[in-house]
Structure 1
Amino acid sequence: MSKWITIGEIVSIWGVSNSFNVKKISDNKSRFKNIKKIYIQKGDEEPEIINVKEVIEKNDNIIIKFDDNLNENIENYVGKFLVIPEEELKTLKEDEYYIFQLIDLDVYDSNGNFLGKVIKYVENPKANDLIVISNDEEIMIPFIKEFIKEINLKEKKIVVHNL
């Protein structure tokens, strides 16, 4: 059974003919180019495969026009997610990570003190921040080498330089 990775969210209907405004959740610039089929999922449902007629890039979003044979009312697709099987992800370089890989990792300082878990990743033009939870409060740690000492996906942990 595949693990499904979210690459977009249907945020609204666009026009009148099976077209949707989709918020991209993917750094892969060519992810939606020449796409012919897409998987759509809500929650833990098994993804539905839908044929794609057209994709139009629009700033941070895209407009996707689907085949005329949708299985549900068009309104029911709003709020669903575009997903791909994990096997279809591009292989990353050694020090690169997908955001979903960082979520829920335990975070420790250089002395081994537990600081919290990564709860989300926030993009910031000056520095990318990890948000961790510690003693019921959020701490933002810039996701740059000066702050991040080690990321170990096998041990599910991140070590940061002492703050």
Structure 2
Amino acid sequence: MWGFSSFSELITATFKNIGSEFVIKYIVPIILAIDLLFKFLFISEIGVYFLMALYGIDFLTGIIKAIITKNLVSKRFPRFLFTMLSALLILSILKYAGMFVVVFYPLYSIFYGVFVGQQIISIVENLTALKLLPLEVLNKIKSKISEYGSNKQ
């Protein structure tokens, strides 16, 4: 498997200081339990993993921006965690509400799109503040969103 003679050898090579017994006993069941829980709670668990990855990237770019601008505040981590957990809670509630009342079913897609869009804008703002993206990219994204919002009304 991928150039290794056994699964144990792959784990040993991947996790250098952690034995394969620890990974098989603890890490793999935790990952499987989280995946099973996400399949139960959300319409698309891959979409939720993507949303969580966007939250993580936003958090990391925010930390880097705060370190560079010397504006690091420790109370931002609980806010990040609270907003991510709130988004996941809203999505799981909308999934089950949509199972019983058809009006709620399309709201899952709408809220998911809002959460993903919010994170993408935040990541672009952080990258623009770090001077890794030109300001035109941020302005273009914001103008497209405002155009879309004004066309809907």
TM-score by length of 1: 0.23
TM-score by length of 2: 0.25
Higher share in helix: 2
Structure number with bigger Rg? 2
